[in-house]
Each structure stands twice: as C-alpha cells, then as structure tokens.
C-alpha cells in the first residue's frame, strides 16, 4: 500500500480560500465555535494534557497499523511543513482519537491515511482533519493531498464515525477504488466534510453508505462534489445535509463511462447544485428528500485537533 494512485476524473476549478461560515441547528456546535477552538488551541498549549495523548511531529515518516492493532490518542503537528502517512493494513484494526494540528503544506500529493481491511471489520472514529492542506500544485503526481485513501484491495468493511475533514485539495474520503477490485464496503456515519476538492464522500461498492452526515461547500474554499458514487453500487445516502451553495454537484452518480445507482432517503441537497446522472446512472430520490439543506457538524464530531486527541 505504498502508493496512492488516482483514477482519471473531471473536476471543477478549485478555489484557494477556506470556508467562512456555517448554518447550524440547536443540537450541534457552530462553525464559529470551531474557528474559536482552532485559534485558541495549539500544540504549544497542550502541556497540561500531555498525559492524555502523544504529540507526533510530521517529518515525512510512515506509520503502519497492522492486524488487530489500535492507533489512538495522537496529536499530529503539521506545522513542520512536512508530510506524514498512516497506513492501516490487515484486518480488524482501529484508528481512534487522532487530531491533526495545522494544514498539510508538504505538496507531497499523498494520502494522509492509506487504509484497507483484508476481510474483517475495521474502524476510524473521532478524527480531526479540519485544518486542510495547500493546493499541492507542486506535488509529483499533480494532485493535492487526500485525507483518506481506501486501497483497491480493501475486501472487508470500514466504519467511519465522527470524522471532521475540511479544506483538502483532493478527496476527503476517497473510497471508490475497491469498486473494481477488492469489493470491500465503507460506511460513513455522523461525519462532516467541507470545502474539499474533487469530492467529499466517494464510494462505489454495494453496501457502502453515507448516513447522518453533512457536506458544506461555499465560495471561499475548494468546491468538490458532495457525494460521488462510482460503479458498481448501489450506494445508500440517508439523513444527510448537502449544502453546496450552488457549487458543483450535490450527488454525482457514474464515472469513466460506468453506471451506478444511488438510493437517497431523508436527505436535503442544494437544488442549484443538483443531481448528476452519468453513463446511464440512476439517483433514486425517496419522497422524504428535500432541497433545503442545512449542513451541520453532527454532535460528537471533534472540532479541534486537541479535542480529537483527548477523545473529548
């Protein structure tokens, strides 16, 4: 799993800013609270919590998580300007309570996480990647940073829970590669992604789904697709808020001339951004699907690197 290859894509033109605001509901924290946390908490101010987590300085290293292992309570300092790659392989591993402080400005064009489960069930939970990355135009493969890359060999199941990804110059969760290879499934639940390029949640295999999650895109950040479904599908979307503010496509089905199906329930999506059905794909909208989205950060999703690392 040493490399993070990309599949050919057609993307919108990225912008270089970051999201500046978010609507909210009364049961979640607002983006204003996120901004306050980001400016008031830094690695230098974590001495009081040093027993709660390990601080790791990004120095271009690769960390490997093997069968049955748990990697948890880490705060990764990205202010070094260097890259770091965490590779999870084998089966039944766990990544939990991990926060990244600072944007990835390495221009390495890699995936922060490269993961796959060989046939069991693995978990990614309570992870903060909300400080984003630089554009990555200088990367050797011509691509920016990806937050999570799910390897084509993935044959088991991976649960993503309480994950916060914002401002990445490539996909937030790139999990479509197993669609024509390992066939493993992915479930993204109670997670938040905003202002990433290419797409935010990208899935392909039958049994893969996005539930109880939000995508937010505005005019000040990267403007990737909300959810991108690849073949073979069917992909399920339930109880999600896809607030695109007219940018790109809220749910895009099909790619590279191959059709897929998306079943959507109890979800709101931006009507101007709309639905894309490519190469004979079908997006099935239930009667409870609306076009008045209000993207929120689900309760329990970490809003700072320190909150993730401590498991608060």
pLDDT in tens, the chain (312 residues): 434 444 434 444 333 333 333 333 322 333 433 333 333 334 433 333 456 999 999 999 999 999 999 999 999 999 999 999 999 999 999 999 999 999 999 989 899 999 999 999 999 999 999 999 987 655 556 578 999 999 999 999 999 999 999 999 999 999 999 999 999 999 999 999 999 999 999 999 999 999 999 999 999 889 999 999 999 999 999 999 999 999 999 999 999 999 999 999 999 999 999 999 999 999 999 999 999 999 999 999 999 999 999 997
Answer left, alpha or beta for residue 220, where phi above 0 means left and psi between -120 and 50 means alpha: alpha
Q: Are 93 and 63 in contact (CB under 8 A)?
A: no
- Closest to 245 measured CA to CA, from 10, 16, 17, 23: 23
Question: Cα–Cα distance between 135 and 310 in angstroms, integer?
Answer: 29
Give the SS3 label for residue 177. helix
Neighbour tally for 124: CB within 10 Å = 25
pLDDT of res. 48: 39
pLDDT of res. 312: 78
- Take residue 8 and report the two structure tokens written for it: 């050919």
């Amino acid at each position: 799993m040493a490399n993070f290859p990309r599949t050919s894509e057609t993307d919108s033109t990225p912008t270089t800013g970051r999201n500046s605001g978010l609507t909210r509901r009364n049961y979640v924290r607002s983006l204003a609270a996120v901004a306050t946390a980001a400016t008031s908490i830094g690695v230098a101010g974590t001495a009081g919590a040093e027993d709660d987590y390990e601080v790791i300085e990004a120095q271009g290293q690769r960390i490997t998580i093997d069968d049955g292992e748990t990697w948890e309570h880490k705060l990764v300092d990205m202010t070094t300007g260097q890259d770091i790659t965490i590779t999870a392989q084998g089966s039944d591993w766990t990544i939990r309570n991990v926060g990244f402080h600072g944007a990835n400005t390495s221009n390495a064009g890699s995936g922060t996480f490269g993961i796959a489960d060989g046939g069991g069930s693995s978990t990614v939970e309570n992870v903060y990647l909300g400080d984003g990355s630089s554009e990555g135009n200088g990367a050797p493969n011509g691509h920016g940073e990806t937050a999570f890359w799910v390897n084509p060999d993935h044959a088991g199941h991976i649960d993503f829970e309480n994950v916060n990804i914002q401002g990445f110059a490539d996909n937030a969760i790139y999990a479509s590669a197993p669609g024509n290879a390992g066939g493993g499934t992915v479930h993204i639940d109670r997670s938040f992604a905003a202002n990433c390029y290419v797409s935010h949640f990208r899935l392909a295999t039958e049994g893969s789904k996005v539930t109880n999650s939000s995508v937010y895109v505005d005019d000040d950040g990267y403007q990737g697709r909300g959810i991108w479904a690849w073949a073979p599908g069917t992909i399920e979307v339930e109880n999600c808020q896809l607030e695109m503010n007219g940018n790109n496509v809220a749910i895009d089905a099909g790619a590279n001339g191959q059709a897929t199906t998306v079943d959507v329930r109890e979800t709101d999506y931006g009507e101007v951004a709309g639905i894309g059905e490519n190469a004979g794909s079908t997006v099935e909208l239930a009667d409870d699907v609306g076009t008045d989205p209000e993207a929120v950060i689900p309760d329990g999703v970490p809003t700072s690197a320190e909150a993730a690392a401590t498991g608060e």
